[in-house]
Structure 1
């Protein structure tokens, strides 16, 4: 998926990747009908569950930071991805006042994000809370020194558990609330931070964090602090309820940010679809985005008479809410029946599904 294009539209020169790759003039923020009016009962339920979940998470984040006197987490902009019903989750929140940092201050080293992860066995990051610290370091001391930006993932004791290069650029002075960007694909989670003073992002290809095994999805056994257990329990409850409301049997990704809730679940029978069936028209996913659409809807993929792949957003009454281009590719057979990916960027939402030898991506801006 393509965070680079989002940054470019905002005046940044950046090199991001085209896949998860996280996941915004969004799949549903921008144009297109279906919005307005009162919410239907299922979307009302989802919004209520989302509000309860977000309150539980922010309380747990504050509890986890209780002894960190110099750090406070923002309450208004965290993003979370819920990956399964066993409590696999990544939560990314902005550190209070990090949005006020200039590039020069950031270069000297600053804490930017507070995260909680709980993945499957084999996750690169053991389950727990971490602080993301960003700084600029010298890579070639001497008469013509070179520098690079790095992000360190530090545990609550200050120990560096992971370090990787990141891309940093100028921010948007008009941005009131910093935006947390998160994406997930093939088990890797990536995230970015967009604020008034700077724009930060990372990509899988510069060292993404492996979090989730589709082949062995047993939960990571790392003991959790009490605050972490509260997040996991809230995530399990929310995920189960969302599956019930959507009518999907899974898999499903739930994404929640201050912009709203987005549900992306595999449509029934997706694992058995062939490319020929998809050409004739078939449902890829069941989705919900209450801030934009008042009803749960399906993304239906088909091949148009002129050879274009098209995604139609179809509500419960069979009415088309909007259309968007889709990308369909043949690939190697996946060992997992269905893999879902998601990207929540600054200017759009992107979703995709891999099943059999087919990959479908829908990305609206």
Structure 2
């Protein structure tokens, strides 16, 4: 890729050269991130990451050519790029790829006249490539991650709203504590029961629709020209001609096999029960995640605090937790972490504010 030389009437300024040097070190750092991730992968994913690193190397060569050689005092890579490097060395690729996706989609080359059209196009394509790679990890995390985030957030928001509402009525601190613990247990048990029923019902539905081989012993006796097996395939959504052809192949194989050896036709494609998971495991996870979230709003009262001090401490603790879970969701989804964290915070505090106002409206006098 040849460097795009600016018009002679507009020679580059010192500011331009500093920007090019920053682009140069960022491209090098991003290439190292992709190579670091490639060492942890194999097969096609590894090859894709290596190719991404080579593409960043072409961009690096562009800025190096514009600078006329290595800068005397190269700047440090951006904080974002250095963070990617640290995470690539220490954490799983899903977090790094999610951050990289967000970074590639906000390329500074869109508005830079010294970046070529090919480089701008590369960055757009890189964003889609990284998104596709990150999607694989997101799919693997989807079930457990959903249970963790939803369970913890439900516990945080519901119990914060509960203790805020109860506390605003003016009752004794012990009553607020007992209400919070009761809310923790009731919510956690409800979440666990709901998750158990949901997963168990899903498994039962899948098992009820799972094809079986109960009719295998009668296959050799079916009429090859006018048989009922084709109806089975048609009921499963296979076209009539293809269903008949498949039925004939299965019956012919059954009739040609040794009668002394029970014939077993190949299993039909079905939903993977392992991907659904265990109902008991899902219930235990939901109980644990909800309880861990619901415990945080009650901690100030457990520690013996009361009044405004306990309320403020609960808001601080829950606010930090909501920001963390929201930012994590944003990070893994490729969205701005801060924006997602603030959204979670607004939702949680909004619910708490409503119940607090209601508690004030229905407050009681304490002797």
Q: TM-score range by the shorter chain?
A: under 0.3
What's the TM-score, normalizing by structure 2? Answer: 0.26
**Structure with the bigger percentage of helix:** 2
Structure number with bigger Rg: 2
**Structure with the bigger percentage of strand:** 1
What's the TM-score, normalizing by structure 1? Answer: 0.26
